[in-house]
Structure 1
């Protein structure tokens, strides 16, 4: 198994009785890429990850690594961090990491060396002789990431890896993931922290009802959305832009009004209306954030499904 290859999820479907968890889910994670996998609770993210790992079997479709189906042998080269933490609560941190590394084929010496390295990198070396259950939730999260990394995986699949971490731990984990990508490792992670996904990821996939409904870089996804205007008109009264054709108010940020321009909307009319209220200290265009894109994509597809039903 070589680094520098793609992980491919090809039209996988999964049903639990009458509940459809995945519907021909398709995406790939390229060599050296951080891929963000986002969706509402129950959208199918965890099911897709478990199928990629072979923990679950798909009803149809295929998962491939380097162009070949995932097998029991090459699954040993995947680092997985589940959302429901999978550590042994009464086992000591160091013993646990060494045990997991050995399960993935490392020698005892290699396993101890790697465990020590990751405990130090992730700031839990001082707790090496503590049982996992005695750690804070944040430190348990760090140990869980160490467990995913200790065998030097060639693919990383992480389910909500940043959940419960403080800002310092988020920075440490972000650095580790970028380093793995720099070595050619494909990294896919799910998260509800969309600002973090937007900052870290090369590409993002948005999932709804078991389907991939949008996929691309944030810039590519933003290009399909409506342009926004940030207007700082301190004397303007609420609703000052409501009567301008094709313009809607998204919200307010630090006293500024955020507007969305629909197709054919004229930003010069917005500027004229803003100036009519008094001085304008800022008038700038911007693309929507990933949070706004996510909300729009999920809402649009939800409405489409409702009409189809």
Structure 2
């Protein structure tokens, strides 16, 4: 089973209502356990990331939440329903495997996807034209899918996921294959959905997207969830690091440095003491160490992922944007 699912209502008297409440989800394929006891509690209106390397169980978990496949064990409540299919018209889903009819015109493709979720076709066509125009594809409304670039086609499929104004949007590796400009546009779109109260869940192996966008995350590794909760709680698993540069290299003030202090070039580095930095500052000033610089650096989400899931799980993750060094 997982660890704590996280409290997104810190500082409030009542917890946020849950869009997703899943307990003990298990899925096996041909005797192999792909997902092993996943718990998730995702509040309404949150941007929530499912992080893990390829093959970790992200897609299987999302498909169980959506009712595309049923769990072998466990329960899930989606938008208040025990059977996700009962609320399918309120859900938008972008699968990792993209697929559109190549001969269909862009606006027809968007309208068709809306119709699959119960949106009348005439209304869908009107909204499709509006969405395409608003997202920089007004010139491509009448073009066939086969005439669009890969990025444009992915945008069309994304808009088809949203045209019926779902309450819950689930995106499986939505940033995959997009260039930096379109990734930025997608991030803006996701924030806009959350601002309107839509719950957005996306899976990714690129940690930077989750760090910028998400209030909460679940880390999946080997089909298990070793952590589910707020992003800041994950980062707090690693103590903040102090980076200190002094004019003097020796003196009685050295005794005030913590036992884990390391010297890196001209800097002293060590974990922020539980007592805070103030007692250390006092000792440095009284000892005339000559403080040239002092900074407190909080751990990033990638470092937290490594600490929680381990090096083996982290080796297939990307810390920054695709193409950047991890």
Which TM-score bucket, shorter chain as reference? 0.7 to 0.9
Match of 2:293?
282
Match of 1:261?
271
| Distance apart, 1:119 and its partner CA | 1.1
- Aligned pairs (5 A) from 1:200-215: 200-215=213-228
| C-alpha distance in structure 2 between counterparts of 1:141 and 1:265, whole Å | 51
- Aligned pairs (5 A) from 1:29-44: 29-44=42-57
| Distance apart, 1:142 and its partner CA | 1.2
| Distance apart, 1:289 and its partner CA | 0.4
- The structure 2 residue matched to 1:162, chosen from 175, 188, 196, is 175
| Distance apart, 1:183 and its partner CA | 2.4
| C-alpha distance in structure 2 between counterparts of 1:7 and 1:128, whole Å | 35
Match of 2:4?
none
**CA gap 1:66/1:80 in 2 versus in 1, 3 angstroms:** closer
| Distance apart, 1:287 and its partner CA | 1.6
| C-alpha distance in structure 2 between counterparts of 1:95 and 1:68, whole Å | 31
| C-alpha distance in structure 1 between counterparts of 2:266 and 2:95, whole Å | 40
Match of 2:26?
13
Which consecutive unaligned segments of at least 5 residues does structure 1 have? Answer: 237-243, 273-277, 303-309
| C-alpha distance in structure 1 between counterparts of 2:94 and 2:308, whole Å | 27
Which consecutive unaligned segments of at least 5 residues does structure 2 have? Answer: 1-16, 250-257, 314-326
Match of 1:104?
117
| Distance apart, 1:201 and its partner CA | 0.8
Match of 1:305?
none
| C-alpha distance in structure 1 between counterparts of 2:205 and 2:93, whole Å | 18
**CA gap 1:61/1:285 in 2 versus in 1, 3 angstroms:** same
- The 8 Å contact of residues 110 and 157 in structure 2, kept in 1 or not, is answered as no
**CA gap 1:212/1:256 in 2 versus in 1, 3 angstroms:** farther
Match of 2:155?
142
TM-score (norm 1): 0.79
| C-alpha distance in structure 2 between counterparts of 1:248 and 1:119, whole Å | 55
**CA gap 1:25/1:171 in 2 versus in 1, 3 angstroms:** same
- The structure 1 residue matched to 2:60, chosen from 16, 36, 47, is 47
- 1:79 matched to 2:73? The reply is no
| C-alpha distance in structure 2 between counterparts of 1:109 and 1:124, whole Å | 20
- The 8 Å contact of residues 154 and 185 in structure 1, kept in 2 or not, is answered as yes
TM-score (norm 2): 0.76
